[in-house]
Amino acid sequence: MNVGLISRNVGVALVFNAAFMLSGAFVAVLNGWDTSFFPLFYSAIITLATGLFPLIFVRRGGVINLREGYFSIVLSWILSCIFGMLPYVIWGGEFSAINAWYESVSGYTTTGSTILNDVEALPKGLLFWRTATHYIGGLGVVVFMILVLPTSRNAVGLKISKLEISELSKANYRFRLSKTARIIITVYLVITISQTVLMRIAGMSLFDSLNHAMAIVSTGGFSTKNMSAAAFDSPVVEVIMIVFMFLSSLHFGLLYSSAKGHSFRVFRNPVIKFYSIVLLAVIIFSAGNLLLSGNETNVFTALRHSAFMNISTASSTGLAVDETGHWPVTSLLMLLFLSLMGACSGSTTGGIKADRVCLWFSSLRARLKKQVNYNAVVRTKLGNRVIDSELIADVNVFIIFYLLIVFVCAILLAITGLSLQDAVAASVACMGNIGLTFGSGGAFASYSDLPVLSKFICTVEMFIGRLEIYPFITFFALRRWK
């Protein structure tokens, strides 16, 4: 294995992280040299020095193979999380070693669950760094590595990119790999800037607007407020967030094509149609449920809260405007369904992905048709595209594997002392990188009271969820590779 090449690629990722740390330090300076300046600046120096070190010795170039690519990706993730916890550890406060690790992993994997009991006690530099970890994680370390791996053969690079961009989504990316990366970055930046501007106009401060925009586009969910989005108490802000959470949960390539072609082509995609219809149905049903149960008395408020919470869950953003602790059980179960389903591949969301669920339903429909007419030749179709049986089998295996991991982790969490509700809620939230919990603490609760082992299990689950299972397992099976 070419250690030099791997270390160089990991070094580039660390340099990128250091740049964002310096941005956080700059925010601390703008905030009157708050207490986060030193931790961020020092961490940036350390991370930059460590990242630059391999670059001194290892020349650019050299062909990377698949094994080395996998190693580079997963090692970049792990080291980014380790170095990402430095500012927290050095600042202190509620950040013990395990808490800092948890917050860092939650940030990079865009989960958004926090161990902080008082988010607003953090200085602005550190709040910005929290959100920046979402931003970096949402794009994925690999996008930047693709940009700096010009000599990786396209086939290898495409396989590596599966770690970040779901396998299903590559079908819609009818572009070369480098262009794919540019599309993702472009859409990312456009959504960030436009949302920041709109929320600023709606009355939020620039700092809050930028942080929430970064958290939403990466579907992370770290808020600068203890009460999450509810702290702003503004219907306009909530509607803006709803729209952008929805956009961030769609396939970026289709968004780009639609925007470029000035059309609504994105909504002709069968997966997006399926996802939108499911969301709409759940929102309306949940709103009705909230009204009937007496949780809400105003129709528009009920619709707004239902839309926000359901889209926040489906997109795995995890921001909250309402305390789900007092929601009726049926609405909670729908949230649970959405947290498992997730949104579209090709975005930064977690979960099983709407593509797979849509495929599963299509294959179920074909199966039922065959059940009725045994001799008929029934093909599974997604839109006009015929889906081969191998892909269907892969989808089925993935769904079962996903649920199995959720179940196993829930058991492990229960062993560490969590109640059934909390264990299942935490397992689902971490695996789907949602962050929002339906546990006994409610939507605004933090994970600070979890035992140390539980926190560690949650972080492992976040990794598995973010890398969509197989790359995580492949990494540990690398020794068996020849």
Partner 1 sequence: MSVKRKISVAFVILGLILLLSSVIAIFEFVTMRRTVAQFVTEDVESINNSRMLLEITDDYNFRLMEKIGDTTLSETPVLFEIGSDNRFKSYMGRIYERFTTAEERAMADSVRYAYIAYAHIVGEVPEVWKRNYSERREWFFNKLYPVYNQLRSYIGKLNALSQNALKVSSDGLNAAFYRSIMPCVVAVGIELVLLFLFNYYVTYYFLNPLELITRGIRRYRETGKAYDVSIESNDEMQNLNENVKEVIRKNKQLLKNNLQ
**Which residues contribute to the site for partner 1 (CB under 8 A)?**
3-4, 7, 42, 45-46, 49-50, 52-54, 56-59, 86, 89-92
Instruction: For residue 108, give the H/E element and its range.
Output: helix 97-108
Q: Least distance (Å) from partner 1 to the CB of residue 137?
A: 21
**Among candidates 165, 42, 27, 97, which has minimal Cα distance to 466?**
165
Residue closer to partner 1, measured from CB, 16 or 91 = 91
Residue closer to partner 1, measured from CB, 93 or 270 = 93
Residue closer to partner 1, measured from CB, 91 or 398 = 91
**Among candidates 79, 166, 177, which has minimal Cα distance to 470?**
166
Instruction: For residue 382, give the H/E element and its range.
Output: strand 381-382
As a whole number of angstroms, the distance between CA 351 and CA 341 comes to 5
Q: Least distance (Å) from partner 1 to the CB of residue 206?
A: 30
> Dmax of the chain from CA atoms?
75
Write out the two tokens for 333: 């179960």
Residue closer to partner 1, measured from CB, 52 or 185 = 52
Residue closer to partner 1, measured from CB, 3 or 397 = 3
* CA distances (Å), origin 319, targets 88, 140, 230, 241, 291: 22, 21, 9, 9, 22
Amino acid type, 47: T
Judged by DSSP in three states, 95 sits in coil
As a whole number of angstroms, the distance between CA 119 and CA 435 comes to 15
Residue closer to partner 1, measured from CB, 35 or 226 = 35
**Among candidates 233, 261, 229, 224, which has minimal Cα distance to 244?**
229
Residue closer to partner 1, measured from CB, 17 or 289 = 17
Q: Least distance (Å) from partner 1 to the CB of residue 58?
A: 8
Instruction: For residue 381, give the H/E element and its range.
Output: strand 381-382
Q: Least distance (Å) from partner 1 to the CB of residue 1?
A: 12
Q: Least distance (Å) from partner 1 to the CB of residue 435?
A: 27
Q: Least distance (Å) from partner 1 to the CB of residue 30?
A: 23
